Amino acid sequence: MGHRMAGKVALISGAARGQGRHHAVRLAEEGADIIAFDVVGPVPAQGAPTATPEDLAETVALVEKLDRRIVALEADVRDADAVTALVDRGVDELGGLDVVVANAGIQGNPGPAASTTPEDWAAVIDTNLTGVFHTVRPAIPHLVARGGGSIVITSSSIGLRSVPNLAPYGAAKAGLTGLMRTLALELAEHSIRVNTINPTTVATPMLLNPVNFRLFRPDLEDPTEEDARPVYRTLNALPVPYVEPDDISNAVLFLASDEGRYITGVALPVDAGYAVK
């Protein structure tokens, strides 16, 4: 176990599995205590398999195995009151807050903008953009009280370079850049840094599922990951189909720790060259 986050408390949304779970474990490995939450249930226009309470329990077990404290709660980022209550409860139990990792998000149902329903649009925007606001807003007073901190928002390479057939997702992720930059300016006087991580495709259930396999291989009736992998590979400049969750967690750790103490207002691509291709 390292010590870069010793004595720190980190709030992580979407922590039941995927990137969120990896962020929780990585920060705990470096000494942080964790406030973790996830909706652990179906969300409209999710576009990927649903996380479960058992998934969140596994995150808890992994953090506790590292001898770190964790407060894990079920909440939907679209519910501002619920998120505020859990942030306050977690801070009360763990004694403060130093880091926010606003990670929860959904892909949505792929398809042209002209055929995207208002309901699907609202579900993605409410989760991926408004949900980040709901996560960050109640955390700010606690970070100010701590004398500073770091907010890391999970955006996407698609927030930097758009693709067709994911209009709600692309709009939300691009919107996070504007939110991040505004917060970076507003919170700088409190020594609170705000940045986004912009990953390319990441090997998590959000990517590796039948919905995405069909999106990338519409020529096949029932494509597999093996069928989709060569198409994923074409997205990136480096010769990889996707990066691993730990690649993103290492970047989160860098921005959350004192190693990134003078980095704020930055959209950091961890994208295998996606944005420059």
Q: Tokens 């808890």 appear where? A: 60
Residue 242 annotated as catalytic: no
Angle at 192 between CA 186 and CA 196, to 5 degrees: 85
Q: Which helix (H) or strand (E) holds 167?
A: helix 167-187
Exposed/middle/buried for residue 178 (C-beta within 10 Å: 0-12, 13-18, 19+)? exposed
Of 169, 232, 242, 274, the catalytic one is 169
Distance CA 148, CA 140 (A): 9
- Catalytically annotated residues: 169
